[in-house]
Chain A
Amino acid sequence: MSGPGNPGYDHLIPVLMPDAVVSNFGPVFGEWTADQIAAARKSFSYILIDSKLYSNCPNWTTVADALRPRDVGKDGKPKKETNLIGCKPLENVYLSVVQNFGDPSSWRTRVDVHNKKPERQSPRGTITTEDADSLHFSIVLNGLSPETYACLSSHPPVRTPDDERLKDVQVVREALENMRYLSVPYVDPEGNRTKQPCFAVESMSFAFAGKEEEFAGPEFFKNWEKEGERIRSLKSGQLNEDNMNIDNEDILWDDEEEEEEDTGDDDESRMDVTD
């Protein structure tokens, strides 16, 4: 499962515990009773995965400790950080996997296990001693190579002679590396229809929403048009990473003041939005 409505992790893989009693579960469609939810809580655990592509966090222990399920508040309503409704009290060990595909300078080891005793209070909520000590098991994976991922050393297991198999493994690694460092121009200067965007990205869709000024305020569209003119003025073939960067001095975004004040964990917050 994956989804934008679950802060803190990108993917969740359900784990069925060996002593699960499936007959106590509720229906596939419809509401579950409290007993049925308790049965599910006892019978299931999960693997939470959070991938980081741009972040250069100096302390991955903090990130690994923060990657945990969070239930609704005491009033029964979802909080901002709620990402798994009905998960508390925790019954089983769960695994958090942080994948760091970013800056190699922040790596200590390729594979690192983190479950040291955390601080009592984390930026994303309170961590109880029982939760942190006995039920949380977290791993940080650095890089994108066979030294980190076993599946890249032997995959794909195709039914072909060994030389073709090895060749395909190499292609897979190159393709993933390319995906990691991919740089995509925002506009096609040639106006070629076949090169227009294919995949939808929800966090970016506002940029193509039209010119209704009430949508984001007149200042936003003034800046957006200015940026559009700058990009359109670029000649074909000149788009590269340098001139695709937005010059923040020329563009006054609405929340510029807030960003300046909140520079402490800027990389972290940007990561959560874009990745």
Chain B
Amino acid sequence: MNLRLLTPLASRLSLRVGPDRVEASELVSSHLGVLVREEGAHYLEVIYPSEPVVAEGSAILLYLMGWGKSLQALNSYLLTGIGPAAFRGELIAKVLSLMAQDNAQIRIPFNRLTQWEFSRRLPVRHFLNHFISSPDSTILFCEWVLRQDLRTDRGKLENFLEGTVFFSHFARATQRIRIQDVAVA
């Protein structure tokens, strides 16, 4: 049961499961992971590639059943992890970003025939407003930012906030990121 609850999160958070675990074999047999190399019984290399279609399906599942149970399942799996000096800060950051993304997406009307609800471009302003709380409760975060006395070029900052983000899941980069990788992503 826990594994079923974990699956929607695993595909979106780019979780890496140790190759000698039964969960890894389940993921490979379910086509969510790919065994790319094995050297006898000593070395197995499993990769978890970026899957936008799976991420969209996972986002719909999380939308329908809520994040709570899946996060509890993730916690129980983390308890079997190999130490507190792990990567929990990164995990929490990813969870928060995706929650904000989902939260923002469902508030924008969409066409079921031509669009995927959780895989659409989203204005940066809209994303940040759902990600970060405004210190002034009467206005949204981006409005609050624009009222601050910033050294940042105001025109360019507004242009940035009018830009769009596009992400439904995280993917792991295995090498130094280039600007063209950002564009292709």
Chain A: residues with CB nearer than 8 A to chain B? 1-3, 5-6, 10-19, 25-26, 28, 32, 36-37, 40-41, 43-47, 49, 51-54, 78, 82-87, 92-95, 99, 101, 109-111, 113, 115-117, 132-137, 139, 141, 144, 146-160, 164-165, 167-172, 175-176, 178-180, 182-184, 186, 194-201, 203-204, 207-208, 274-275
Contacts and interface: CB of A to CB of B under 8 A. Distances in A.
A198 B18 contact: yes
6 contacts: A36-B180, A45-B160, A53-B89, A110-B135, A116-B151, A179-B75
A159 B177 CA distance: 38
B74 A175 contact: yes
B152 A49 contact: no
Contact of A14 (B67, B72, B77, B185): B185
B163 interface: yes
B90 A51 contact: yes
Contacts of A137: 150, 152, 157, 160
A175 B72 contact: yes
A14 B183 contact: yes
Residue of A15, A86, A199 contacting most chain B CB atoms (<10 Å): A199
B32 to A, nearest CB: 15
Interface string B5-37: 000000000111111010100000000000000
B185 A150 contact: no
A6 B178 CA distance: 10
Nearest to A86: B179
Given A18-B163, A184-B78, 5 more contacts: A1-B177, A45-B160, A150-B141, A156-B63, A178-B75
Contacts of B162: 18
Contacts of B66: 156, 158, 160, 164-165, 168, 171-172
B87 A146 contact: no
Which among B66, B91, B129, B171 has the greatest number of chain A C-beta atoms within 10 A?
Answer: B66
B64 interface: yes
B160 A93 contact: yes
B106 interface: yes
Given A49-B97, A141-B132, A199-B81, A157 B165 contact: no
Given A175-B72, A199-B17, A199-B77, A275 B89 contact: yes
B1 interface: no
A208 B95 CA distance: 29
B53 interface: no
A25 to B, nearest CB: 6
Contacts of B177: 1, 3, 5-6, 12, 83-85
